[in-house]
Amino acid sequence: MSHHNNLLSQTLSLVPRHIFQKLENRHKTGRSSRKFGFKEQFNVMAFIQLAARRSMRDGLRALSAVGNKLYHWGLKPVARSTFVDANNYRPVGFFKDLFGEMYGLCAQKAP
């Protein structure tokens, strides 16, 4: 079976995993999630944004509708309550710092 990277997985692969790990250590929020960490939250939010969904609920429905493609996109099915809790209780500063890190990487390559 041949393997082809699609646009979503290529886009998500541009954010290095070590950056997420460094920022997760900096923004500890108590007990860490075993299955739905910051990277998974970011991936779901990126899918919702790139799929041009109107709301979080609409985006999660679209995510569950594609079922067997999730693995190829580097995503996993997520319950709406899990995603809502992550958005409500995790610090927003994490994504601010993630933007700063990515901006720093891009500025080195294209000043």
42 domain residue, yes or no: yes
The answer to whether position 17 is within a domain reads: no
- Residue 105 inside a domain? The answer is yes
pTM (two decimals): 0.82
Return the SS3 of 86.
Answer: helix
Q: Is residue 101 part of a domain?
A: yes
Predicted confidence (pLDDT) per residue in 61-87, tens digit: 988 888 777 877 777 888 899 999 988
Look at the chain and report how many structural domains it folds into. 1
Residue 21 resides in a domain: no
19 occurs within a structural domain: no
- What residues make up the domain containing 75? 36-109
Residue 1 lies in a domain: no
In angstroms, rounded to a whole number, what is the distance separating the alpha carbons of residues 86 and 55? 16
Is residue 4 situated within a structural domain?
A: no
Q: What is the pLDDT of residues 7-37, one digit of tens each?
A: 777 888 888 889 988 888 888 766 666 678 8
